[in-house]
Copies of this chain bind each other. A is one copy, B any other.
Amino acid sequence: MIKVGIIGATGYTGAELVRILSRHPQVELVALTSRSYAGEEMAGVYPALTGSTDLNCEDLTPEEVMDRAEVIFIALPHGHAVPVATRARERGIKVIDLGADWRFRDAGTYEEWYKVPHGNHKLAARAVYGLPEIHREAIRSAGLVANPGCFPTSAILGLAPLLQGGYIDPETIIIDSKTGVSGAGRGAKVTSLFVECNENINPYGVAGHRHTPEIEQELSALAGRAVTVTFTPHLLPISRGILSTMYASLARPATEAELRQVYREFYAGAAFVHLLPPGQWPHTRWVYGSNNCHINLAVDSRTGRVVVASAIDNLTKGASGQAVQNLNLMFGFPETMALAGPGLCP
């Protein structure tokens, strides 16, 4: 049993961590921090957890959490994880950060897109980007894992095989993503109100969303050259789920059958990534509440493009489930521990 603390436990990703870890046979939760709900039972804040956890939310300092835990999850707004993770590493405590602070090997990119100084470029250069299907070995030995963003997870998993194999022209990539509202967090904002989101879809952050450079960092590494993408997220009236539809021109003629083989080989051994049968396009409901990623693709022979779609649950594979997957790798547990099993469907 390892002792685990969660800093920022009462946001949606924090609650999802508690949900998953309450079933993890090798984890003992020892600290749930929250400012807003300090002193309340976690099961009072999220009554779905009634009977699954007896823990209270506490307004602990990071130092106090580190006194109890051997690994910490950080689920704080960006900008807050740098000092916490820095100190944790000094104390030899492992860190999985669910925010953006450690996702860039070059912290200058972070500073440019997030408009704040970073504070520890050196450690940023050594953090590991926690997408296990791409960086599994590095994660196993990592002390500080930057859990990927939700959109980047769906986009990178969808495009990685094509870019690594040189099948598409990296200048032609367009990523059109659609996300559920839980991605906006539990903050009380007018734009997240039921009435504002229901019966609606809209684009946002067009030509400037902060997940763009994160996608580009990883795709560039896979392609072995600089990749620039157009990325457009959309908000749709579902609680959980991201679908990314991706377009690129084929670098050389290829059939759908060939490309399917490329995906099968790339994801051999990846327990959570499933290439669906021909013609069965990903539905976000099929991965609802699971750590799975469903992918399919088609060649548009009229235009010489390939169209790829990938679906994940933004709170699970797009955040907390992937974070637990990283934990499993970092501590030598089976990668699917507490994460196996189908989504909740119907």
**Residue of B whose beta carbon sits closest to that of A188:** B188
**Residue of B whose beta carbon sits closest to that of A18:** B342
Shortest Cβ distance from residue A290 to the other chain B in the assembled complex, whole angstroms: 7
Q: Is the CB of B303 within 8 A of A230?
A: yes
* Complex Cα gap A63–B230 (Å): 52
Say yes or no: is A307 at the interface (Cβ < 8 Å to chain B): yes
Q: A48-B342, A207-B302, A346-B315 are in contact. Are A190 and B188 (CB under 8 A)?
A: yes
Shortest Cβ distance from residue A302 to the other chain B in the assembled complex, whole angstroms: 6
Within 8 Å by CB of A48, from B202, B241, B290, lies B290
Interface bits A179-210 vs B (CB < 8 Å: 1, else 0): 01110001011101111111111111011000
Q: Is the CB of A199 within 8 A of B285?
A: yes
Q: Is the CB of A189 within 8 A of B188?
A: yes
Chain B residues with Cβ under 8 A from A201's Cβ? 178, 236, 238, 241, 243, 283-284
Q: Is the CB of A234 within 8 A of B240?
A: no
* Complex Cα gap A315–B342 (Å): 15
Q: Is the CB of A190 within 8 A of B186?
A: yes
Q: Is the CB of B307 within 8 A of A206?
A: yes
Chain B residues with Cβ under 8 A from A52's Cβ? 341-342
Chain B residues with Cβ under 8 A from A196's Cβ? 194, 285, 346
Chain B residues with Cβ under 8 A from A324's Cβ? none
Say yes or no: is A298 at the interface (Cβ < 8 Å to chain B): yes
**Residue of B whose beta carbon sits closest to that of A173:** B303
Say yes or no: is A29 at the interface (Cβ < 8 Å to chain B): no
* Complex Cα gap A237–B201 (Å): 10
Q: Is the CB of A48 within 8 A of B243?
A: no
Shortest Cβ distance from residue A151 to the other chain B in the assembled complex, whole angstroms: 14
Say yes or no: is A23 at the interface (Cβ < 8 Å to chain B): yes
